[in-house]
Structure 1
Amino acid sequence: MRHEEVVLGRQPVLDGSGALVAYELLFRKSDDDGPAANFERPLDEMRASSQVMAGALVDIGLSDSLGPHFGYVNTDHSLLMDDVVNVLPPDRFVLEVLETTTVDAALRDRLAELRALGYSLALDDVASLDDPRLALLPLVDIVKVDVLLAGAHGSARLAGELAGSGKTLLAEKVETAEQFEAARNDGFELFQGFFFAQPQLLRTRRPIASSDAILRLLTLLEQDCGLDVLADELRRHPDLATRLLRLVRSGAAGIRHTVDSIPAAIQLVGTRQISRWAQLLLYSCDNQRPARRDPLVQQVGTRARTMELVAADWRPDDERLGAQAFMTGMLSKVDALFGMPLAEALKDLPLAAPIRAALLERDGRLGALLQLCEARERLDEGAIRRSCRELGGIGLAAVARAEASAAAWTLSISGAGIDDA
């Protein structure tokens, strides 16, 4: 499976005492470690902001990208009007209305809706009192003034005019001690700029998602296909299923629970939020090869299904064990899937304790099932027999049947509905 590096920039937002209160999350234009010019405004704001949101929520995670602080995210007219922005938890993010945003009645209504949902809103890069976005002042909480562009006189005038508005004033692009002191004297409460810190780079790796797979998932969601069909679709794509678990962990769905199966994750997040998340991934991804051409996806699917079938044969009355076995198998190669050590790949996943123990320590019933599948893949007859004994004497023939059935199942579902062209 091919991987790509996720690079996210973040720049601190400080109060007048120098205490950290938030980070602005920034689109990274290139992979090098050059100067801040690489954070310049992208040509495609929608895609850039989607990549930032996906990076913060799913790839890097909120704990590593923001810690306990708020995150500021750039949003243009298209993104603000799109339901996908609602994937961001309102208690963690401030939506910045960019200077390129057209002010119209639809935008006003949408900002009022977002505000009612609990989002904090900011006007970004305000540099003069002629800015048409100041008509949105009753709907926003924060005004970010570009002190570099506005100049000392313009910044002071803006601060004076906005002083009685009840809005928090943030001085951005502060580059010198003199600018900081002047802004503080003008009444600004929050500060951001190179004088305090240049953007810091956050990096991780992720599997490159197939837009075909995401489109199929969105189609099923639009058709209101039901829990079982949706769970089966996610079974076909362990990379998407794993990223869904990270969404659960991020609290983007308003919940913070452990899960032990794909259906449980779907029920916790809800189809509306999954649809938003899938749109976010689609906006930020490039088209890649389908699952049937990826040997890692084939191996993971076969292993997970084998574990599920063996569990059903071993404990036919325990449906939960089968669901847990599938999830354990699906996540057992997540290190290869995401190109990082297993413990690191699992640390942000909200896994039930038996699944985590099986993956990290090969412990418990799930650990025994996993060891059996690994022994089969290595053709280690001694280890296979030991695992069968540990599982209560399950027969070798039953395991072979389960594996053959699992291989056929994986081939059938990884090809269904996907164009090989």
Structure 2
Amino acid sequence: MKYSYIARQPILDKDKHTLGYELLFRDGPQNTFPEIDPEHATSRLLSDHFLSTHYETLGDKLGFVNFPYQSLINKVPTLFPSDNLVVEILEDCPPTEELLAVVKEMSQLGYKIALDDFIPSKEWRAFLPYVSIIKFDIRQVPIEKARMFMLRLSGSKIEFLAEKVETYEEFEQAKKAGFDYFQGYFFSKPEMISRKSLEPSFMTVVQLLTEISKENINYSAIESLISKDVTMSYKLLAFVNSSSIVKTRIQSFKQALVYLGEDKLRKFISLVALASTQDSKPDYLYGLSIQRARYCELIGSRLNEKLESGQAFLTGMFSLLDSLLDRPLEQILDEISVDESIKLAITQNEGILGDILVLTKAYEKAEWDKVQQRCQAIGLDQNALSECYDASVKWTADLLSVKTN
């Protein structure tokens, strides 16, 4: 039986490249299941989720995992390979001699140790030689105060991570203060450095996404759009010819579209949407837009309400266009032909599509109370929500692993 949610939040470097993900669990007594011991919950979550789903989707990225005190004393982290696991010591762990001995041992075994939500105090001084990363919640420890602490440790090998970075300004301040890594949602807001126009290839992608959201796909319209874009044409044929379903080489767009069918066509267009956007944006943002689209689609498929094929998918995909193009959503949505229900869902959180999008964003941010409320409001089983998230993460990882060049 699944009794847990898990979400992942990106951790980015100064260039906004993804270093890894913090895997966020619902495992405390305040979270819906008070009868489950947090230590037991963490063990179950590690085996159910980290091993079965998220571990395989981390790729070459690091997985940051919170461990309660007893899990550390029991050396639970050593059950997992050390190469892409960062062991986070929770802020409520007491800095005992027993914990210090375990931290020392894990450090010698090659595990990266992080102090989570760190508040500077002399009790933790003995731990510092064995710590790789110190995380400051900038809502609790102001950036300037953190900067003074980091200066004192400037000769050490410790790297510093700023948590709860919510705006681009905070990201810039934290970078200047000397932080190495950043966690938060600053990248999902437009930076507004300069106005980007909708480039022809990206405009084609947007029009294609609009076409595949319709109940009856117009293959002629799709063929017409693809044939006008040389890059898209090449990628379509390369994608179809690399597919296991193709026995003879495909030569025409129409033939390719017939072979692909609706599901694979959506997959292909999503993939090209990833590849055709601006290189200067964080890679995580493209992955998130695809994952969010798929997650919205899977949630929509579990509801009793009848949704047109592709509507929930497009709602998720288009909800990040402002971040990808550095322009207000309303302005972008006015320029493209998109269904009014999708537009209202994205800009006003209206209707069932709006409910799905709000639920998806709450899940991504691990706002579990809000997640539970929204599940009840739309009549969605909470176990189904967890399954949909796992499936969307796997689906996205699969897409990115076959990224066409």
State the TM bucket, normalised to the shorter chain: 0.3 to 0.5
Q: TM-score if structure 1 supplies the norm length?
A: 0.41
TM-score by length of structure 2 reads: 0.43
